Structure 1
């Protein structure tokens, strides 16, 4: 449908009114009810191109209330299809957004139309130069207003000599309310899921979205459970100014979280200066879950951001209860059980033995021998019999660990 050779002028297929009615009906009907954002945008573009508008690129962005990202959206390019993208929150405070057509549209709630010919450096925003370099000849951005009065933005680029016709601009502006009607429910779902991921982790967020939100609704499964904790956090608190301490703590949390997510784990909670993470074994098996956890520890220790904030890591594997626990009006999605209690005891031993990373015998049994070092038997608080503890040689961990 996007082959420009087959496109027809608007008047040849019933005129702008008929085209508008057809696209609007699809947007507020099947698209709104059944499709994810990228398919809504792709279907919209297919219909506009079929109507004779030679689009080169379309980007529809959504600003969100999220501490990690400032916006997300869908970008479509001719020959490349439609894809989701995210914008880190900090970008909205840079020149990438300031002075851009998107900022103009959001602040003024009005259309921005600009030829991509004869652009002037220092006057025209860099996004216009980027579109021109890609072959664009004309740029149209317009507000997409949601029911909560928030303003999103959509940008259309064509490469036709002479740019968009007045008839095409009127059509695109006329279908903006229908675009909003189709995308708002999908945007709400996407924003809710992304916000849940920030606070719960991707695995728990997915479970909650799929209906696991009743108190006591839990699942028994097996997972490699990782706990990290800062060394001498009390001493740091006394020596450092509050802003420096928070910055140091933030860098440490970022390092651990990024490492865990890179290996497919879920960060479940921050406990003071500690991090609790889980690597589910249900789909990949106990051995692979442990290897992923060990690789995440190695990734974290490799980051220079933690050089001045040393921390320890402890790892155990076993059955856990995974789900919603709490009161009638306050729930926490987490893992509990003997496995979690055991790994918290291991973390204390790591500090006592001055080791950076330790694991239980259950973990050691599934790891290559070169990755572990026997530290002997040690008493763990709350556990009757002494337990064998192993040091993790994270320097021996690499992308192929476990295949040797």
Structure 2
């Protein structure tokens, strides 16, 4: 590959990275351009760790026999002592970390590096050479586990990589690593925003809605739920059981809300505040009730599983309300919260807290019931009017018809 060709590819990589090209597309196009310039590649693997609650990082795999697409692999923890750990410890990437090295060249024709997992993954090729490169970040640029980019180049060219090939790959790896890091950082920002703010709020923040005091008036279904007897559980259960309990039940609550189209805005200890928005309020109410049904079904399975293991179990109290709220940034100049505020938020929390007094798992406001489709309202009955703490007037509250629940036609807890 000529110097002019290498320079052209470096400039293209830099531009693609600045434009925000996705990692898979970036790698695929680079490999196609390398092939067009006569560089024979059998496979290329790019690895970068990330900051994610589940995944440790992402790998991008290009193979010449599947050149129409790049495989994207999101991998979990590599320190769990399982098969993933064993594969990581046999990799060239691990060797570079262990030896504090930035490059490994394995002349496969001479029997070097044949046991590296990157080489074994392409065993069907008659591989001749392998170049593994690692670019490390400065200490103050490390984010979570993301402290390096690994780029592995493999060929089946007779005789392996020549000196010109090696020089070209070393020059190309630097802008490639920078472009991959740029895309990974953008992904991390989006992930953190969504994980901590919720989907809708994250999108608004990433679009630039970060000024203090900027809020939107919306009409939405409000969901507030918390765990029954949580204080008692924390006082009596072993301390190392509290976080797993919260995680198990929060997972069921949050997944049910999100699958039904709701958006979780805030986790407050054992409580969850969420909204359901739709052009038609009836659709938002229907979605919230669907989330509740999904949640109850999953809680029965979770309770059975935890009970069989001798672990503490609980259930979820839920309040549903419809009202107008302000949705936006609230806080100080240095610390903002993207949330909903307004009297309706206070009311839905008070409605949920009434579940304990009336021994029901779900309570709904009269506004929610009025907006609910007729076929859904048929299963709801009034429990009467109640004074809610901090709310100026008594509110009529509804629940699932106890007779339907007893007969199995409706489910609650």
Bucket of the pairwise TM-score, normalised by the shorter protein: 0.7 to 0.9
Q: Contact 1:346–1:380 (CA<8 Å) still a contact in 2?
A: no
From 226, 230, 242, the equivalent of 1:229 is: 226
* 2:123 matched residue in structure 1: 132
Q: Which residue of 2 aligns with 1:96?
A: 84
For residues 410 and 79 of structure 2, the distance between their equivalents in structure 1, rounded to whole angstroms, comes to 38
Summarize the alignment of residues 63-212 of structure 1 with structure 2, pairs less than 5 Å apart. 63-72=49-58, 74-76=60-62, 78-82=66-70, 85-88=73-76, 90-94=77-81, 95-97=83-85, 98-99=88-89, 100-107=91-98, 108-112=100-104, 124=115, 128-132=119-123, 137=127, 140-146=131-137, 148=141, 150-157=147-154, 160=156, 164-166=160-162, 167-212=164-209
Count of equivalent residues: 377
Q: Do 2:24 and 2:60's aligned partners in 1 also have CA atoms closer than 8 Å?
A: yes
Given that 1:146 and 1:181 are in contact with CA atoms closer than 8 Å, whether structure 2 keeps it comes out as no
Deviation at 1:17, TM superposition (A): 2.2
C-alpha distance in 1 between matches for 2:345 and 2:168: 59
Report whether the alignment pairs 1:376 with 2:376: no
Equivalent position SS for 1:359: strand
Deviates more, 1:31-40 or 1:330-339: 31-40
Q: Secondary structure at the match of 1:81?
A: coil
Instruction: State the Cα distance separating 1:146 from its structure 2 match.
Output: 4.2
The equivalent position to 1:289 in structure 2, one of 261, 275, 284, is: 284
Q: Aligned in 2, Cα 1:363/1:136: closer, same or farther, shift over 3 Å?
A: farther
Query: Offset at 1:156?
Result: 4.1
Task: Tell me how far apart the structure 2 counterparts of residues 68 and 273 of structure 1 sit (CA, whole Å).
Answer: 21
Summarize the Cα distance change of 1:57–1:297 in structure 2 as closer, same or farther, 3 Å threshold. farther
C-alpha distance in 2 between matches for 1:278 and 1:117: 61
1:361 is aligned to 2:370: no
Contact 1:145 / 1:180 at 8 angstroms: preserved in 2?
A: no
Output the TM-score relative to the length of structure 1: 0.80
SS at match of 2:56: strand
Shift of 1:244: 1.1
Q: Which segment drifts farther, 146-155 or 169-178?
A: 146-155
1:371·1:396 contact (CA, 8 Å) conserved in 2? no
Contact 1:115 1:137 in 2 (8 A): no
Contact 1:200–1:333 (CA under 8 A) maintained in structure 2: yes
CA deviation vs aligned residue, 1:171-220 (integer Å, no higher than 9, x gap) = 22221111123233332222122122221122212211111111111112
Per-residue deviation, 1:230: 0.5
CA distance in 2, matches of 1:319, 1:355: 26
For residues 97-155 of structure 1, the C-alpha deviation after alignment (integer angstroms, 9 at most, x for no partner) is: 431333334443433456889999xx93656544436x684655321344637312123
Unaligned runs of 5+ in 1: 1-14, 399-404
Q: Which runs of 5+ in 2 are unaligned?
A: 305-312
In 2, the alpha carbon distance for the partners of 1:276 and 1:337 equals 13
Range 241-250 or range 39-48, more displaced: 39-48
C-alpha distance 102-248 of structure 1, shift in aligned 2 (>3 A): same
Cα RMSD (Å) of the superposition?
3.5
Q: Contact between 1:116 and 1:129, CA under 8 Å: does it hold in 2?
A: no
Does residue 251 of the first structure (1) align with residue 248 of the second (2)? yes
Q: TM-score, normalised by structure 2?
A: 0.78
CA contact (8 A) 1:75 1:82 kept: yes
Whole-Å Cα distance in 2 between the matches of residues 26 and 264 of structure 1? 40
C-alpha contact 1:370 1:396 (8 A) present in aligned 2: no
- For 1:265 and 1:112, the matched residues in 2 are separated by 49
Which residue among 324, 332, 347 is the counterpart of 1:327?
332
